[in-house]
Structure 1
Amino acid sequence: MQIITPNYILTPDTLLSNMSVAFDKTIRKIAPLEELKKEFADADVIELKKNSLLMPGLINAHVHIEFSANKTELSYGDFVSWLYSVIENREELVNGCGDECMAKAINSMLESGITTFGAISSHGMDLDVCANAPQNVVFFNELIGSQATMADALFGDFLARLDASKSVKREGFYPAVAIHSPYSVHPILIKKALQKVKNENLKLTAHFMESSAERDWLDKSDGDFKGFFEKFLKQNSAVSDSKEFLEHFDGFSTLLTHVVNANDEELKKLSLNGHTVIHCPISNRLLGNATLNIKKLNDNNIKWIVATDGLSSNYKLDLFEEMKMSLFMHSNAPLVKFADALIKSVTINAAEALGINTGAIAEGKNADMIVLDLDKEPNDELAVHLILHRYNISKIYINGTLVKCSL
């Protein structure tokens, strides 16, 4: 048992001062220090610097660890051009990022306060580093393949990767399923994968409506994707439309990434099924895609969270940076209110979307916590300042264990 005594504690609903937190693996009690010392007499008391802030560890719900070797290899500015560059450089990027490269990416997330991440694993090459990561990991085994003739082989490979992830037995590691996208996964495969999700109660994610090319292909089997599919897959029509794709997820609470080109009918469908949208602003900008209409999400009561995507479409895996970009992109949103929503999107809301017991400094939650060294006493615009200013993270706790401590 430990007792940590910051100057301030950021909870989902308020900023506390002159309170302490008693914790082991979970947060046991929040109360004045003297009260906790009496109740937990044998606990170690951790004293912090002046103007210290205790807040939940950040949660990056969508990241591609396997593509962490990219820096200048891929083409930015247009989604289809980027996709061609991924195909052209795939072997070099994947083979060029071994365990050391992927571990470096994971450590960079830790250094920026990310205590939980959702790894979208295309090949299973990142399984060992994710299994050994200090963070909590939701390990999304990705299913991809639009050709019916290859369905059995592709599903067999997917099952082998899923089974391998299920063999990892450590606290804070959760096997899960990712369906790549409506244009790249045949309905036969989707149905088979969702049966596994249902039978084993696995978390589920998918990319959806990332680009205008996807919109045109699903609606008309035309547009910028047409040449790509004819060249690489000998397909001249989409395997399903967006309506059929979303119907697969009826009854499954799903994390849908990007959603920048969804229409009103699709948004209503997302709302009806309680899906969560993952907002990746830097990735959308670099790949020439639209900006997510968060006002429409809010108007439709659709939950949304923020994530970094991977280094194949980003320059760093830092949620503070991602929130900053989102804060400036959505210039019509009320600044302070939107900043508060962004902080919740990478803490309590992300935890709820992933179905894990973390994301808040609250009794009963897992003790995933970070300590920030503020410059002065915080005010009502704390969320804005947390996003704008890169405060030093002096301590990081994951499941109650100190994993980083600096002066």
Structure 2
Amino acid sequence: MHILLADAVFTDGTLYRDHGVVFERTVLALKPNSELRSEYGPACTELGEGSVLLPGLVNPHVHLEFSANRASLTYGGFMPWLQSVIANRDDLIGGCGEECVDEATALMLRNGITAFGAVSSYGFDLDACVRAPQKVVYFNELIGSDPAMADALYANFQERLFASQSEAREGFFPSVAIHSPYSVHPVLIRKALDYAKAHRLRVTAHFMESPAEREWLDHNDGDFKPFFENFLRQNRAANTPDAFLECFDGIPTLFTHAVQANDDELARIAAGKHTLIHCPVSNRLLGNGVLDLERLEQLGIRWVCGTDGLSSNYTLDLFEEMKTALFMHPQRDLLDLAYRLWNASTRHAADALGLNCGTISDGYDADLLVARIDYPINDQLPLHLLLRRPTIESVYIEGNKVKG
């Protein structure tokens, strides 16, 4: 049993001053320090001045297979970026072996990320994700819009999915990803989602990330047109947006980006009780626009915060992602947005991934961070933790110290 006494505990949007936590594998109690000293005496660990206990961060969307990227790709627009990914794909994938993926998961751990959703296109990151200390929701990605290749594409997807299912354990959850409405044939989508529903697998998908996607799906035109005609010999989109979203009816899904989604599509996402993953750094680097968080909240859509991968980010750090969002949404009240971002990167993200963590509350897994700050603890702490990020001294996952 661990009894940690801190200057403050911050969880679920509430700041508890002079509080501590009792935990084994799960959290047993969150109480004032005075009560814990009286109850447990010398068994308590006094963390001292400037100590803050935080729930472990949850990154719901990351691509690890392109983690070798440093400055190989072109930023500023989605199509130049996509073309650079295609041109450099073999080098990037070949340059990211198991050590590279191990370093990416270690980077997330150093940055306080105790659970993540890995979207895997090829399965090369499977072994590294299986041995990662974090909780991992492993999304095997289905991609392919050519009907002539449908059987082969689905067989490859099944092979990767079955390989991940053979590794299933507590803390590692094989799951399904549908790449996007423009890149997956509807027959394949229905087959994969039928399997996911039958086996109660978690599901994620990209949706309406770029203006190019919007124009292609609506009008079979725009910047995507030469790409599909030249690379795939297709002159029509594989799906309409409505038909794509309809496939997910009855399957709670994490949709990533949705920057270009219109009101009707957002209303359908709200009606389906789906979740949207906001990746502000990726959206900015690829020139895709800014997600309208106020509109999501008006519709009652839960949104969470993710890093995306190192192909469209410079680090895998939710502190940095949240800070970027503070400046990307200047119309929002600053402190209120900071509180919402913390919920979006902890409890809400964990709940969207179906995980029993993201909060320091009785009965939840003891995934928590021991952080240290050198500034006053007050009601603006959630903001200052992003502006002046703390030192993360220790990381616990299910009560086990995995860092520090």
Using structure 1 for the length normalisation, give the TM-score.
Answer: 0.97
What displacement does 1:39 show? 6.5
Answer with 213-222 or 16-25: which moved more. 16-25
Using the alignment, how far apart are the partners of 2:133 and 2:163 within structure 1? 19
What one-letter code is carried by the residue in structure 1 that aligns with 2:178? I
Deviation at 1:35, TM superposition (A): 4.9
Q: Which residue is equivalent to 1:297?
A: 296
- Mapped to 1, the partners of 2:283 and 2:134 lie a distance apart of 26
CA drift at 1:168: 1.5
Q: Deviations over 1:112-132 (max 9, x none)?
A: 111111100000000000001
| Structure 1 residue 251 corresponds to structure 2 residue 250 | yes
Match of 1:356 in 2: 355
Match for residue 188 of structure 1? 187
Aligned pairs (5 A) from 1:138-153: 138-153=137-152
Equivalent residue number for residue 79 of structure 1: 78
CA–CA distance in structure 2, aligned partners of residues 293 and 53 of structure 1: 32
Distance 2:345 2:328 in 1: 17
1:163 paired to 2:134: no
Letter in 2 for 1:256: F
Give the counterpart letter for 1:74 in structure 2.
L
| Structure 2, unpaired ranges of 5+ | none
Deviation at 1:266, TM superposition (A): 0.4
Match of 2:213 in 1: 214
Structure-2 separation of matches of 1:290 and 1:200: 36
Question: What residue identity is the alignment partner of 1:29?
Answer: A
1:320-335 to structure 2, matched below 5 A, reads 320-335=319-334
Q: Distance in 2 between matches of 1:48 and 1:99?
A: 36
Which letter maps to 1:17? R
Alignment of 1:113-132 (within 5 A): 113-132=112-131
CA distance in 2, matches of 1:87, 1:103: 24
Is the Cα contact below 8 Å between 2:36 and 2:44 reproduced in 1?
A: no
Structure 1 SS opposite 2:44: strand
Letter of the structure 2 residue corresponding to residue 81 of structure 1: P
Please give the secondary structure, in 1, of the residue aligned with 2:330: coil
Question: For 1:159-193, what per-residue CA distance to the aligned partner results, in whole angstroms no more than 9, with x for missing partners?
Answer: 11111111114431111110000000000000000
Contact 1:49 1:373 in 2 (8 A): no
- The answer to whether residue 28 in structure 2 is matched with residue 31 in structure 1 is no
Q: What is the aligned partner in structure 2 of residue 11 from structure 1? A: 11
Q: 1:11 Cα shift? A: 2.3
With over 3 angstroms needed to count, the CA separation of the structure-2 counterparts of 1:169 and 1:249, relative to structure 1, is closer
Aligned-pair identity (%): 53
Q: Is the 8 A contact 2:368 2:396 kept in 1?
A: yes
Deviation at 1:37, TM superposition (A): 6.8
Distance between the aligned counterparts of 2:236 and 2:164, measured in 1? 34
Q: CA deviation at 1:13?
A: 4.1
Distance 2:351 2:59 in 1: 13
Matched residue, 1:50: 49
Q: Partner letter of residue 16 of structure 1?
A: Y
**Hey, what's the Cα distance between the residues in 1 that align with 2:237 and 2:43?**
60
Q: Distance between the aligned counterparts of 1:355 and 1:327, measured in 2?
A: 27
**Whole-Å Cα distance in 1 between the matches of residues 280 and 13 of structure 2?**
26
Provide the residue aligned with 2:344 in structure 1.
345
CA shift, 1:359, in A, is: 0.4
In the alignment, the residues of structure 1 paired with residue 188 and residue 17 of structure 2 have an alpha-carbon distance, to the nearest angstrom, of: 52
Shift of 1:49: 2.6
Structure 2 residue matching 1:357: 3-state secondary structure: coil
Higher mean C-alpha deviation, range 175-184 or range 12-21: 12-21
Q: Cα offset for 1:383?
A: 1.1
* 1:1-22 residue CA offsets vs partner (Å, 9 max, x unmatched): 2111112111214211233211
CA contact (8 A) 2:13 2:342 kept: no
User: Residue 98 of structure 1 aligns with which residue?
Assistant: 97
* Distance (whole Å) between structure 2 residues aligned to residue 164 and residue 27 of structure 1: 33
Structure 2 residue identity aligned to 1:284: N
Aligned to 1:373: 372
1:302 Cα deviation after fit: 0.8
TM superposition shift of 1:255: 0.5
Q: Aligned partners of 1:36, 1:379: CA distance in 2, in Å?
A: 22
Partner amino acid, structure 2, of 1:327 = L
Unaligned runs of 5+ in 1: none
Equivalents in 1 of 2:324, 2:204: separation in Å?
23
The structure-2 alpha-carbon separation of the partners of 1:248 and 1:169, relative to structure 1 and needing over 3 Å to count, comes to closer
Q: Provide the TM-score with structure 2 as the length reference.
A: 0.97
- Amino acid of the structure 2 residue aligned with 1:125: F
Query: Which residue of 2 is the match for residue 88 of structure 1?
Result: 87
RMSD over equivalenced CA pairs, Å = 1.4
CA contact (8 A) 2:67 2:104 kept: yes
Cα deviations by residue, 1:5-59 (Å, 9 ceiling, x for unpaired): 1121112142112332111110012224565577679x95333131200010001
> What do residues 81-111 of structure 1 show as CA deviations (whole Å, max 9, x unaligned)?
1111111111110011001111111111111
Task: Give the Cα–Cα distance (whole angstroms) in 1 for the partners of residues 201 and 249 of structure 2.
Answer: 15
Provide the C-alpha distance between the structure 2 equivalents of 1:13 and 1:111, rounded to a whole number of angstroms: 23
Letter in 1 for 2:105: I
2:225 equivalent in structure 1: 226
1:194-222 deviations in Å (ceiling 9; x for gaps): 11111111111000000011001100111
Q: Give the conservation status (yes or no) of the 8 Å contact 2:168–2:174.
A: no
SS at match of 1:324: helix
Read off the aligned partner of 1:244 and give its amino acid letter: A
Tell me how far 1:240 sits from its aligned partner.
1.0
